Structures are given as structure tokens and as C-alpha cells.
Structure 1
């Protein structure tokens, strides 16, 4: 049967269901997260040592999503035209190059480029290695469409009934990366090589990810929906065939205006923005909070993120598969957002017990909400424009990340732990808005 499908050149069908293993794309997702999370515990220390402060740490973190905002829609669209595997490989090579540049920044002399002392932004110095570090994060962001393309790949090879559980597996692979990465960073950071060791680790991990894509990831989308001028140019340059999908109706890749006219998509993109906004206020504010209020070291920070990710894996591997059979995506999104908002409120006092109690609420909330949200988004998007809409979703997430990461640094500089209250209020707003998703789900069924 599989051979027959491969032989249908005039009407190729995407590989779905049981005939494609999810293991390669899950492994690539794990590798990508591992490469990022390995520097997460010490990045705030590194920025401070190179002349930055809380605002600059937020700004450095925001460089990736700022440039992902530009790159993700383009890469998502290209994946619809040229195939998922080729664009995943391009993205992974960009990540590898960015880590090599990041490593080079650590060996540059700490030369001051300019200083600022502001009542709002605080006092900081932009140094040469800090500027190169900014460039490395920007390059990684520009080629950082791997998440949206991986999500589109997963949607290509998954039936609608399995989508929630398979997006849960995708989240598990990410969280495994977040377990191993910080733990590995803690071990490597105490070696004689210091900060260099974790970055070298990220480079090795990126090389492994590149090889995995080349050798093991199958192409899930082998044709373009129309004879597009871009496809013709690439066909001439690289001399490979881009087959056109034959359909009974006229189809093509939508531009931004068409995406916004797609039923329910604007509302879900707005929710995507708000969810990522809350996340990223947390991801900037918490490391600063851990240093100034909890007096944590790199090793303790690594332990916290490892525990958090471990709990997420437990939720997504044991609880999510069971409850997804009984409850709809919308119901899990509503419940999860309530739990996630509560997590942020528990962080405000700066109490060690409450901080670790919050990890349980975070894991339950994020572990149920996010895979269910991605599942519903993929169903609303439909099969034809999966890559394009996932790319636009990543852009909305990137815009939220820019805002949240910079805002998180500024808020913590001015309000300390109260910044978590703002993150919590954002997620509680999402909780209220999520009730409308039940209406979207009913429309998909009928």
C-alpha cells in the first residue's frame, strides 16, 4: 500500500498515520531544545559579567524572537512550497552557525562601546563581546523557523484524532531537552573551561541535530500547491523537481491578509500572542528573581528548570493522553490556563517552598494547555496551509516574546516580584477568552 502511494506521481499524498515514525522529528525537537536550554541557566550571569543589567538581559533574550518574527513566516511558507525537511535543515544550519559565533564572542576582549545610566533602564555598558552575542542570537532567530516547520511536519503525518496526543509528545521531547540541558550546563559550568564548555556542548548538539535531519527525517510534504515563481527560481538554481499537488479546486499559499480572513485564525493568533507574552515575562523575570531574591547559583537554577521540565514530562506522558480521550481540546486549554495563571501568583512572595509548589501548577497548566492549543490551531488551519499558518503563529509568538522578554526585564527592575502578578493577570485574561474556543471546536465537528 505504501509503495502504491509513493508511485502516485500525479497525486502524491502526505505520509500519515502509522506509516511514518514520529521518532526522528521528536529527536530533532529534543536536540533543538537541548541546544538552547544548555545556556539558559548561565546566560543572565554572562550578560551581567559582560556589562549588561536586567534590561540588557531581556533585550539579549529578545533578539531571537525579534528576528524569528521576520524569518518564521518566510520559512513556514517555504516549507509549504519546497518541503519540510529542506527548511528544517536550513534552520538547523543557521542555529549551528549562531552558536559558533556565540563561542567566538567569549574570546573577544571586553572593550566598552558605550555606556548608559538611566533612571528607567538602569546603568549598563554595551561591550564588544556583548554586541557579538546579540548578533549571534539575531542570526539564530532569523533562521529559527524550526518550531513552526516541525509543528507543520507533525500535522502532516498525524490524523486529527491523534493530533492532541502527538503534540503532547512533541512537548515531551522539548521538556526532555529542558531537563538535560540545564543539568548538563550545571555540570559543565563547574569545569575548568567555565562558560566555554556549555557553548561547546550546544555546538556539538547542533551538529548532531543537523545529521539527524539529513539522515532520518522523512519529507512529509513533497509537492507545492501551485506553480509559484519562487519555486521556479529554486528549481533552476538547485536543479531539483518541485512537484505540484493536483487538487480539484484552486489552492495557493495565503498572504497575511488571507490568513487574517481565515475563520477563527485571528482570534487564535491573538491568544497565541497573550500566552507567549505571559510565558516570556516569566522567563526573563525568574532568573533575575532567583539571583536577587532567592540567592541561587547556576547549579540551583539548573536544578529548578530540571524539576520543572521533569514535572511537565510526567503530566504530558501520563495525564494528557488519558484526559485527552475524555475531554475536548478547548476544555483542556481552559483548565490549563487557570492552573498556569495560579503558578505565577505563587512566585510573588519569593518563598522557596511556594516557588517549588508553583512548578506543579506550571506543569499541570502548561502540560495540558499548550499541546491542546497547538492541536486545535492545526485543526482550524487545515491541511493545505499548515506551514504558512504555523509560521504566522510563530511570528505572533515572536512578537509576544520580544515584548515579554524586554518587559520582563524592565518590570523586574522596577517592581521586583510584582512582575509575576502581571504575568498571572495576562494568563487569567487568556483563561476568560478561551471559553470561546468551545464554539470553534463545535464548528469543526459539524
Structure 2
């Protein structure tokens, strides 16, 4: 146990856990905040889509920047953005509920747009644009992992995420039931983000080698002065490794295996966006759940994933290739989404168990596959554009999910089941055209 806390992966696991904890504290109460300020399911979906829309813009920039100036600096920038966004979110509770406009039609339903809602939208925009911490954290984990421990390390990364989702939702409802109401979870989220800045600064070591030394650098070369160039410390071993981290999307998708994995990235986030758009509305409107009930449901899911992504995935990854684990996980996810459409508490928790098991097997295995492509000089770009794929899918999935739930109720989850079946098919055919992780760079003498 002591060796684990001293290991090179513990700081990034701690950073990931802290970041997820702050975010997950707000998930169970967000639908109630939106409706209290005049919104409805449509506005909730739009608000949910705002973050991934601006993450779609910001993540590739931060990912590529982390290839140039280092993961640590970009993680600090991202976390500062998160802290400022939560502070802006809190400001919404101090403003008067001035009505800006009202709308009621067949597409949007009835809602009132108020000044606090606008401020909340601005907070999500700001957090989304600086929200490249996920892609950069994954790139960091790729940097410090070998082919032997890649699956195991990403399993631990997933477990740290799940642990954050266990504690956050479980306490969120309890905190919101105090005299301070929804303000207390938001205060705690802001405080946690502030703590994460100090953890990154003092505990995390830079993982990108050969960041240029700026001592004695002339002011004439601005790019060198701001540490945005690498030294030539690698020899090139393949066509793919000739790519530089500053290259764009067209160059990244030329790396073997990236297009298929990006498609799976997109489909996975789209399907889960339907889930996250529909579940809070389903819980509050049909099941008549409180924030505590929803928090317990989400915490149970994350607890299962901790068990899967920790000991179970560690054992299975030694016996099965990542492709097979992705196929098994996606199959379980498809089945779970079918069961989610049934309005029965016992069936819902059964669906939640399958969903957690499938997600725990699939996602870390998928990330391990993605991190095996390219090189350290391109991993930030690969992960950044991958995050953009997820953000782009989430943006549309959350909007469409909210609108579909208004029309077809819980049948929206059946669309997610079909998407995961498509992922199974993609991975099945990908197995017959296996992608070999590119790790042919050798340090130059």
C-alpha cells in the first residue's frame, strides 16, 4: 500500500479523483437548479451540451499545447479555469431572478430564461473551454505507462474516476438538504478545484521530456521564450512518428488505427449523453426521486465500476486483449440500455449493474488502445482530438436526448442500445485488422 502512494502514477490518479469529485458533486442537483431558475428538460439538455461544445474547441488546443510546454502546466491552466467557473456558478445564486424571455412551443416546451440561468451558461462555457484536463491527464498516463502495464494503469485511472463518482453524488444530496441548499455542494466543488491546483503544482512531476530550457534564450524567438518547442531528442522510427505535435487533425487521423477508435469515441459519448440527458428528467419527473435518490443511484454505479476497473480488470487484462474487453463491455452496455427503458426499480438497478460492469470493462481498455498509438510527441494531440470527438458527440447527444425524452419517454435509451451494438460490430471487424501500438521512438544519443 505504501509503495502505491509513492508510485509515479499516484499523483495523476489523485488529480483525476479530485477533479471528478468536484464535478460529480453537482450532477445530482443540476436538474433541480435548472428547474428552480425557470428552465425545463430542453434547457437542461442545452446546458449540458454547452460544456462539451466549448470543450470540443478547447481540448485539442490544450492537448497539443501539452505536447509542447508539458502536461503539468496545461493541467494547472485547466484547473484554474474550473475553479473560476465554479466561482461564476456561485454568483448566479446571488443575482435576482430577472426574467429575460419566456418560450412555450412543441419543440422546446415551456421555460423561462432568467439572469441566473444565463450566468450558469457562462460558467459552463468557461469551464468547457479550459476543460482539457481529461485529455491531458490521459496523455500523462500514456507518457508514464509501458505496453506491459498500460491496461492496468488505465484501469486504475478509471477506478479513481469512479471513486470520485461514488463519493460526490452520495454526498451531494445530503449537502443540498442543509440550510444552504444547492450552494453548499457548489462551494465544496470550488474548494476542491482550488485544492487540485496545489496538488498538481506540488505533487505532479512533468512527464514530457525535453521541454526546451529557456535560460539564455533570446527575446527574438518568442516561441522558445514561452517554452513551446521541443529539443530534438528522438530519432524517427516510422512514418507516423514523423508527425509533430503541432500538426492538426488531418495529420493525426493518418496514424494507423486512429480513425476507427475516434469513431468509437464518438459513438460511446453520444450513447452516454442520451443516458445523462434522460436519467435526471426520468428520475425527477416519472420516478419522483429526490437529489439523494439520484445520488445513491449514481454512487452505486460508480462503486461497481471501482470493483471492475480495479481487481477484475487487472486480472482480465492479463488474459484477454483490449479489443475483446471492449467488445464484451459494449455488449453489456447495449443490454443495460435496453433494460433502462423499463419503469421498474428492480430492473433499473439491474440495468445499472450491467451498465457499470460494461463501462468498467470497456472504457479503460479502449483508452489503453488509444494511448498505444502514436508517440509521446503526438499523444497530447491524439487525446485532445479524441476528447473533441467525445465533446462533439456529447453536445448533440445531450440536446437530442432531452428533446427525445420529451417525445418518446424512456424509449430514448433504446437508441443508446443500438449505438453500443454498432460499437460491437466496429470492434469485431477491427480485430481482424489489428492495430499495433506505435512505440518505435528511441532516445537519441
Using the size of structure 1 for normalisation, the TM-score is: 0.92
Residue 160 of structure 1 aligns to a residue whose secondary structure is: coil
**Residue of 9, 15, 20 corresponding to 1:33:** 20
How far off is 1:36 after superposition? 0.5
**Residue of 316, 328, 334 corresponding to 1:323:** 316
State the partner residue of 1:309.
302
Query: 1:164-243 alignment to 2 at 5 Å?
Result: 164-223=151-210, 232-236=221-225, 243=230
Query: Does residue 393 of the first structure (1) align with residue 393 of the second (2)?
Result: no
Deviations 1:332-380 (A, max 9, x none): 0001000011111111111100010111101110000000000011112
Query: Does residue 438 of the first structure (1) align with residue 431 of the second (2)?
Result: yes
Residue 253 of structure 2 aligns to a residue whose secondary structure is: helix
Deviations 1:125-154 (A, max 9, x none): 111000000000010000000000000000
**In 2, Cα distance between equivalents of 1:65 and 1:232:** 35
**Residue of 337, 340, 343 corresponding to 2:333:** 340
Structure 2 unmatched ranges of 5 or more: 215-219, 237-241, 440-445
State the partner residue of 2:44.
57
Query: Does residue 252 of the first structure (1) align with residue 244 of the second (2)?
Result: yes
State the partner residue of 2:276.
283
Contact 1:380 1:444 in 2 (8 A): yes
Deviations 1:198-229 (A, max 9, x none): 0001011111111100100100003359x9xx
**In 2, Cα distance between equivalents of 1:160 and 1:199:** 40
Query: 1:353-392 alignment to 2 at 5 Å?
Result: 353-392=346-385
How far off is 1:412 after superposition? 0.6
How far off is 1:311 after superposition? 0.6
Contact 2:322 2:366 in 1 (8 A): yes
**In 1, Cα distance between equivalents of 2:230 and 2:372:** 25
How far off is 1:243 after superposition? 4.7
**In 2, Cα distance between equivalents of 1:90 and 1:352:** 43
Deviations 1:220-279 (A, max 9, x none): 003359x9xxx953543x5x6955132333552221111122212111111100011001
Query: Does residue 92 of the first structure (1) align with residue 79 of the second (2)?
Result: yes
State the partner residue of 1:266.
259
TM superposition outliers: structure 1 runs of 4+ over 6 Å = none
State the partner residue of 2:217.
none
Query: 1:95-106 alignment to 2 at 5 Å?
Result: 95-106=82-93
How far off is 1:19 after superposition? 9.4
Contact 1:71 1:141 in 2 (8 A): yes
Structure 1 unmatched ranges of 5 or more: 1-16
Q: Which has the higher helix share?
A: 1
Contact 2:369 2:437 in 1 (8 A): no
Residue 341 of structure 1 aligns to a residue whose secondary structure is: helix
Contact 1:82 1:242 in 2 (8 A): yes
Contact 1:185 1:198 in 2 (8 A): yes
How far off is 1:444 after superposition? 4.5
State the partner residue of 2:239.
none
Contact 1:80 1:224 in 2 (8 A): no
Query: 1:396-435 alignment to 2 at 5 Å?
Result: 396-435=389-428
Residue 244 of structure 1 aligns to a residue whose secondary structure is: coil
**Cα distance change, pair 248–104 in 1 and its aligned pair in 2 (3 A):** same
**In 1, Cα distance between equivalents of 2:187 and 2:354:** 34
Contact 1:59 1:405 in 2 (8 A): yes
Query: 1:95-174 alignment to 2 at 5 Å?
Result: 95-174=82-161
Contact 1:81 1:223 in 2 (8 A): no
How far off is 1:90 after superposition? 0.2
Using the size of structure 2 for normalisation, the TM-score is: 0.92
Contact 2:372 2:438 in 1 (8 A): no
**Cα distance change, pair 255–18 in 1 and its aligned pair in 2 (3 A):** farther
